[in-house]
């Protein structure tokens, strides 16, 4: 069964460092998303991406965040200068359409900022 895969599963970084989280969405899906879940809190929407551009982004997705689909298969989230409060589980998701909310999530990348 096709699935969304994410790497790394866990990354530890120093505050101020750049981090890139990688995702391979399901191959025939057209919409791609990043969500995050800070420990003990709810899953929060960060950004959606369609047709090689950002469709929607939340208030969390400020200038230190960027997304890219560099080669037609990978979908990356870059955090330019990490802060302590960026520590969270980051989930990539994809969907074929955008009108039902049925997303397929990866297993997540845990980011720990020290």
Partner 1 sequence: DQQVKQNSPSLRVQEGRISILNCDYTNSMFDYFLWYKKYPAEGPTFLISISSIKDKNEDGRFTVFLNKSAKHLSLHIVPSQPGDSAVYFCAAGGAGGGADGLTFGKGTHLIIQP
DSSP run (H or E) holding 91: strand 88-95
Nearer to partner 1, 14 or 53 (CB): 53
- Residue 79 pairs in a beta bridge with 19, 65
Q: Binding residue for partner 1 (CB under 8 A) from 21, 88, 108, 113?
A: 108
Extract the tokens encoding 39: 């420990």
**Counting contacts by CB under 8 A, is residue 105 touching partner 1?**
yes
In the region spanning residues 29 to 88, those forming contacts with partner 1, defined by CB under 8 A, are 31, 33, 35, 41-50, 55-56, 58
Residues 89, 109: contact at Cβ < 8 Å?
A: yes
The residues binding partner 1 (CB under 8 A) are 4, 31, 33, 35, 41-50, 55-56, 58, 91, 93, 98-108
């Amino acid at each position: 069964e096709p699935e969304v895969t994410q790497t790394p599963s866990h990354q530890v970084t120093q505050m101020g460092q750049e981090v890139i989280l990688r995702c391979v969405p399901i191959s025939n899906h057209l919409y791609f998303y990043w969500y995050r879940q800070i420990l003990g809190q709810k899953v929060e929407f960060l950004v959606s991406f369609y047709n090689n551009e950002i469709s929607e982004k939340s208030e969390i997705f400020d200038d230190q965040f960027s997304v890219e689909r560099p080669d037609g298969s990978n979908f990356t989230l870059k955090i330019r200068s990490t802060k302590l409060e960026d520590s969270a589980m980051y989930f990539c998701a994809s969907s074929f359409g955008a009108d039902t909310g049925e997303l397929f999530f990866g297993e997540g990348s845990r980011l720990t900022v020290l």
